[in-house]
Amino acid sequence: MITGLLLNIIICFAITISSLTFAFVLACNGGEHSEKSKPALWALVAFWTLVGATYLPTTIRMIAAYMGKPTIDTIMYNISAIPFAFISVPLVFFIMYVMIGNKNISKYVSFIFTIFGAAYLSLFYSSGAIGPQVTELSSIFIVNSDIAIQIYLMGLFVFPTAMILGLLLLMFITRSMTISIHRTVLPLVAISFVFDFILTDFITAVDVIQITSRVFVLVGTVQAFLAYFPQTVFNDRFSAKNNVETCETDENDKTEYEDNIDG
Q: Which stretch binds another protein (CB under 8 A): 95-103, 116-124, 132-140, 209-217?
A: 95-103
Q: Which is nearer to another protein, 162 or 170 (CB)?
A: 170
Task: Report the distance separating Cα 170 and Cα 257, nearest Å.
Answer: 42
CB-based contacts of 54: which residues, under 8 Å, 6+ apart?
80, 83, 84, 87, 198
Using rule CB under 8 A, residue 187 touches another protein: yes
Query: In whole angstroms, how close is the CB of 112 to another protein at the nearest point?
Result: 21
Sole binder of another protein in the list 71, 176, 252, 260 (CB under 8 A): 176
Using rule CB under 8 A, residue 232 touches another protein: no
Angle (deg, nearest 10), helices 181-203 and 207-228: 160
Q: Which stretch binds another protein (CB under 8 A): 37-45, 130-138, 141-149, 202-210?
A: 37-45
Q: Which is nearer to another protein, 20 or 56 (CB)?
A: 20
Q: Which is nearer to another protein, 12 or 26 (CB)?
A: 26
Using rule CB under 8 A, residue 36 touches another protein: yes
Q: Which is nearer to another protein, 69 or 183 (CB)?
A: 183
Handedness of CA 11, 208, 50, 168 (dihedral sign): positive
Task: Report the distance separating Cα 252 and Cα 232, nearest Å.
Answer: 27
Using rule CB under 8 A, residue 96 touches another protein: no
Question: What b/e string do you get for 198-219 counting C-beta neighbours within 10 Å, with b at 16 or more?
Answer: bbbbbbbeebebbbbbbebbbe
Maximal C-alpha separation, the chain: 87
| Residue count, binding to another protein (CB under 8 A) | 23
Task: Report the distance separating Cα 194 and Cα 204, nearest Å.
Answer: 15
Sole binder of another protein in the list 7, 149, 179, 219 (CB under 8 A): 179
**Which residue ranges make up the site for another protein (CB under 8 A)?**
26, 33-34, 36-38, 40-41, 44, 97-99, 101, 167, 170-171, 174, 176, 178-179, 183-184, 187
